[in-house]
Chains A and B, each alone.
Chain A
Amino acid sequence: MKKFLAFVLVAVLVLSVLTGCKQQVKQPVTLVFAKGDAVELDPADVTDGESITVMNNIFEGLVRYKPGSTEIEPCLATTWEASSDGLEWTFHLRQGIKFHDGTPFNADAVVFSYERQRDPNHSFHKYGKWEYWSWCFSEIAKTEKVDDYTVKITLSSPFTPFLSTMAMFTADVVSPTNCEKWGDQWFANPIGTGPFKFVEWVKGDHITLEKNNDYWGEKAKIDKLIFKVIDDPSARLIALQKGEVQGMEFPNPNDYETIQKDSNLVILSEPGLNVGYLAMNMGEDTPGFEAPYKDVRVRQAIAYAINKKDIVEQLYKGTAVVAKNPIPPTLWGYNDAIQDYEYNPTKAKELLAQAGYPNGFKTKLWAMPVSRPYMFDPQKIATAIQAYLKAVGIDAEIVTYDWGTYLQKTEGGEHAMCLLGWTADYADPDDFLYVLLDSDSATVGSAGNVAFYRNPEVHKLNIQAQQETNFDKRVELYKKVQEYVHNDVPWVTIAHAKQTLVFHKSVKGFVLYPTGDYHFESVTIEGQ
C-alpha cells in the first residue's frame, strides 16, 4: 500500500513538473476579457449587449462610428450619396476585401445581409428573429445591387437618422456562403470581415477570437482575444486581480474603492447613450392619468422637490452622472445651455400651492423591478423619491410589477408616475427625442413615450430633423426640442449611467465608445 502511495505521489509530481514545462512555451499575445456569455453570434439577430460585444470585433457595416465618438465614418463603403428627395442612398463599396471564409465581399453580400432580414420571402428569413430590423430599419423599402461594388438602398420616407442606424451591428455584413453552409446552425458560426476571426465558442465558458491577418484596415495588435464568461461582477474582479483575465466590464459599484486602491488596475468610464428618468403621465386618455400632472407647475414642483445630485451620488454609487437633458452629454446635439431645476423644496411647495395643491396630493410611483445601468437599484431610488415628495406634501405609494408586465402596463399608460430608462440603439438624438418624447410614440398600449407628452411643436421639430440632411441644422433643431422638454417637464431626468470597464494596467489603447461598443483592435498589452 505504501509503495503504491509513493508511486502515485511521484507520478503526480512528475506530471506537475511536465505541466509546468508546457506552460512556459511562448504563448501568443492574448487578452482575456471577463463578461457574460453571448446569446447567439449573428449581428442581425441579437439584441443583447453581451452578444453585440463579440460581434463588434468580427463584423463590420458599411459605415461605422469614429473611435470614441458618435460621428459616422466610412467602413465597408468608401463613399455614399443620397438623392435630393432623401429616399435613395447609394453606397460605393470598398474593393478587394474577403470575408474570413474567403468569400469576396461585394454588393451581393450586402443585399443578402439586409434582404434576409427585411423580406419574409427571402430563403434565409425563416431562421432568424430579426427584431431590430423592424424596429430601427423599418424605413428601408429595399436594398438592391447596382453593380458588384455599388448598392442602392431605398427608403419609404426621408429619414436622415438612417445613416446613424447603418452604423449599428444590425447592419453589419455577413458572409452569405457561410450562412447558406450552416443553415439553421448559422448563429453559432459567425464569419465577417472584421479585425478578428471567430475560433470557438464553448457555451457558458468562453468565446475565442484570433487576429485576422488579412484585415483590410489597421490590423489588430493582439493575437488572441478571449471573452471569458464570468457572470458575477465580484468574481470578475477577483479573476482580474488574480491575473486570470486582463479586463472586465460592469464592476460592482461596491468594489470601486478596492479597484481604486489597487495600483495594478485602471478604470475607464464615461456616460453612455442612455438616460434614467421619472416620467409623469400627462395623457388624459390613459387609464393611469391623474389630474395634478396636467399642470406644468405640479411637474415643475416635482422636479424642484427631488435632489437628483444626492440620488446619483448615494444610490448610483459613482456609476452615473446627473442628467439635465433627455440625451446624454456624449451625444452630438446635447444642449448644454439648459439650466437644470435645482433642488429647492420651498419653491416646490410654492408651485404646488399655486397649482391648487397647497397640501399636496396622493399618487402612485411605479418602480422598475430590475436594476438597469441607467436605473441602478430602482427600489431604493423610488424610496428616496418618495421621501423627497413627502417633504413637499406629496404622498406617493410605491408600486411594482415583474419586468415584462411593468413594460406592458407603462406602455398602456396605467401609471401616474413611473421610473424608466432607455439605452439608445443608434447614436442620434432622434433615438431619444422622437422615440421617447414625440406624440407619434405616445399611442396608448405601445407607447415609448410613457409620459404621453404630446407637444405639437416638439413633433414638428422632430419630423423636421428627421428630414433635414444638414448636420448643423439638425443640431439646432434638437437643441430646441430639449428646451421645450425642459420647460414642459414631462420627465424628471435623473441620470446617465456611465459605462465602466476595468483593465490591468498593462493593457493600453482601449477606446470607450459612447454607444457602449467594445473594439479591441487598438489594444496592446505592455510587456508581451
Chain B
Amino acid sequence: MLFAVSILIFLLIRLAPGDPARTMAGEHASLEILEQMRKEWGLDKPLIEQYLIWLRHAFKGDFGRSILTHESILKEILYRFPNTLELSIFAMIFATLIGLFAGIISAVRRYSIFDYFTMFIALFGVSMPVFWLAIMLLLLFGLKLNLLPISGRLSVFYSIKPITHLYLVDSLITLNFPAFFDALKHLVLPSVALGTIPMAFIARITRSSMLDVLNRDYIRTAKAKGLTQRAVIMKHALKNALIPIITASGTEFALLLGGAVLTETVFSWPGLGTYVVQAVNARDYPAVQGAVIFIALVVAVVNLIVDVLYAFIDPRIHYQ
C-alpha cells in the first residue's frame, strides 16, 4: 500500500501545474537560472529515474532535503509530527468523551428532548466549517472572555527543553509546571475546534450502534435478571456496541494525525498539515513526498492498532 501511495503522490505532485524552480526563483528568474536549478535538483531526469533515486534513499530513511528551506525533510517531519500528535490526542479525548456520553444517553433516552438536542448539535457539528468554529471559539474564549490563549503552543515567555517534542510530556519530565499549564491552556481551543467534527460523528455512531444493541435479546435477558440500568448499559450494551465506534474513532484519529490545515492555520499550530500545504504550494516535491509517505505510514499503523483492539474487545475475533 505504501508503494502505491508513494507512486501516486510522486505522479500527482508532478502532474500538478507549476514548477519548483519557478516557484523558488521567483517571478523574475531567467531561463538559464531555471535550467540550472532543475539540473541541481535532478528535475531534468526522466520521471522513473527520479522515482527510483527517491525510493532508494527513502528506504534508508533519507527523505532528502527540502527544496524550499534546505532543511532535512525527515527532521522537519519529526519536529512537526509531535505537535500534530499532541493536538490530535487531545482532540480525540474531547471527541470520544463527549461523543460517547452524548451518544449513549441519546440511545437510552431515545426521542427525548436530550436526544433531539444532541442529534441536532451532532448534525450541526458534522456540517459546520471548522475554521468558522475555530474563529468563533477564538473570539469568544480568547478575546471576549479572555480565558484562554489563542495562538501557538506556548507563550513566548516560557520555554521547554525539547526531549520528545510533546510539550506536556517534556514540561513534566523537566518539572517545568508553569510551562505545563501554559501548554495545556494553549491546547484547549484548538482541541475543541478540531475535535468537534469527530465528536459529532462519534455521537451519531454511538447512538445508532447502541440502539441496535439495546434491542437485542441478551439485553432483555440482562434486564430480566434484574441488573441495574447502569450495569446493563455499561457492561452489556456498550461493550457490544463498541466495534463500529472504535472503527469510526480510529479512522477519525488517523485523519487527524494527517494534520489539520484549517485548525492549524487559525491557531498558528505548527503541525504537519500546514507543512504539507506549504510544500505543495512551493511545489517542493521531496517535502510533499516525504510528508505524505509519513502520513500514510501513520494511518497504516493506527489502522493496525484498531484491528488489534478488535480482538481485545470482541473475543470472537481472532488473528492467526
Nearest CB to that of B155 among chain A residues? A244
| Interface check A177, CB cutoff 8 A | no
> Roughly how many angstroms separate A226 CA and B80 CA in the complex, as a whole number?
21
Instruction: Answer whether A404 and B149 are a contact pair too, CB < 8 Å, given A131-B25, A445-B31, A448-B28.
Output: no
CB-based contact B151/A230 at 8 Å: yes
Smallest beta-carbon distance A55→chain B, Å? 15
Which chain A residues in 369-408 approach chain B with CB under 8 Å?
401-405, 407-408
Proximity bits, A17-36, B CB within 8 Å = 1, else 0: 01100110001001010100
Smallest beta-carbon distance B78→chain A, Å? 12
CB-based contact B150/A405 at 8 Å: no
> Roughly how many angstroms separate A134 CA and B37 CA in the complex, as a whole number?
12
A445 CB contacts on chain B under 8 angstroms? 31
Smallest beta-carbon distance B288→chain A, Å? 15
B217 CB contacts on chain A under 8 angstroms? none
CB-based contact A235/B157 at 8 Å: no
Nearest CB to that of B67 among chain A residues? A129
CB-based contact A47/B33 at 8 Å: no
Which chain B residues in 58-77 approach chain A with CB under 8 Å?
68-71, 76
CB-based contact A228/B265 at 8 Å: no
Nearest CB to that of A51 among chain B residues? B69
Instruction: Answer whether A238 and B139 are a contact pair too, CB < 8 Å, given A232-B268, A405-B17.
Output: yes
| Interface check A229, CB cutoff 8 A | yes
B268 CB contacts on chain A under 8 angstroms? 204-205, 228-232, 235
Of A134, A204, A241, the contact of B33 (CB 8 Å cutoff) = A134
Which chain B residues in 136-155 approach chain A with CB under 8 Å?
138-139, 142-143, 146, 149-155
| Interface check B182, CB cutoff 8 A | yes
CB-based contact A446/B31 at 8 Å: yes
Instruction: Answer whether A22 and B156 are a contact pair too, CB < 8 Å, given A131-B29, A204-B270, A231-B265.
Output: no
| Interface check B55, CB cutoff 8 A | no
CB-based contact B18/A402 at 8 Å: yes
| Interface check B6, CB cutoff 8 A | no
CB-based contact B26/A47 at 8 Å: yes
Nearest CB to that of A239 among chain B residues? B151
Instruction: Answer whether A203 and B79 are a contact pair too, CB < 8 Å, given A131-B24, A187-B70, A404-B23.
Output: yes
B83 CB contacts on chain A under 8 angstroms? 204
CB-based contact B22/A135 at 8 Å: no
| Interface check B209, CB cutoff 8 A | no
CB-based contact A402/B33 at 8 Å: no
Which chain B residues in 116-152 approach chain A with CB under 8 Å?
135, 138-139, 142-143, 146, 149-152
A448 CB contacts on chain B under 8 angstroms? 28
Which chain B residues in 163-180 approach chain A with CB under 8 Å?
177-178
> Roughly how many angstroms separate A23 CA and B157 CA in the complex, as a whole number?
8
| Interface check B267, CB cutoff 8 A | yes
CB-based contact B182/A19 at 8 Å: yes
CB-based contact A235/B25 at 8 Å: no
> Roughly how many angstroms separate A40 CA and B266 CA in the complex, as a whole number?
23
| Interface check A152, CB cutoff 8 A | no
CB-based contact A30/B156 at 8 Å: yes
Smallest beta-carbon distance B148→chain A, Å? 10
B114 CB contacts on chain A under 8 angstroms? none
> Roughly how many angstroms separate A445 CA and B32 CA in the complex, as a whole number?
12
Smallest beta-carbon distance B43→chain A, Å? 13
B22 CB contacts on chain A under 8 angstroms? 404, 407-408
Instruction: Answer whether A40 and B156 are a contact pair too, CB < 8 Å, given A135-B29, A229-B270.
Output: no
Instruction: Answer whether A404 and B283 are a contact pair too, CB < 8 Å, given A30-B156, A131-B25, A203-B79.
Output: yes
Smallest beta-carbon distance B32→chain A, Å? 8
CB-based contact A235/B138 at 8 Å: yes
A232 CB contacts on chain B under 8 angstroms? 265-266, 268
CB-based contact A15/B71 at 8 Å: no
A435 CB contacts on chain B under 8 angstroms? 28
CB-based contact A404/B152 at 8 Å: no
> Roughly how many angstroms separate A34 CA and B79 CA in the complex, as a whole number?
22
> Roughly how many angstroms separate A44 CA and B55 CA in the complex, as a whole number?
32
| Interface check A206, CB cutoff 8 A | yes
Nearest CB to that of A435 among chain B residues? B28
Instruction: Answer whether A204 and B80 are a contact pair too, CB < 8 Å, given A18-B178, A235-B268, A448-B28.
Output: yes
B69 CB contacts on chain A under 8 angstroms? 39-40, 187
Smallest beta-carbon distance A447→chain B, Å? 10
Smallest beta-carbon distance B280→chain A, Å? 11
The 9 closest A-B pairs by CB, nearest first: A204-B270, A404-B18, A19-B178, A230-B268, A402-B17, A405-B17, A404-B22, A22-B178, A15-B177
Supply 10 A–B pairs (Cβ within 8 Å), ascending by A: A19-B182, A129-B25, A187-B70, A187-B71, A204-B83, A204-B274, A230-B152, A235-B265, A235-B267, A402-B16
Q: 13 new A-B pairs (CB below 8 Å) besides A15-B181, A228-B152, A229-B152?
A: A19-B182, A27-B157, A32-B156, A129-B25, A129-B37, A206-B152, A226-B156, A228-B151, A235-B138, A404-B18, A404-B19, A404-B22, A446-B30
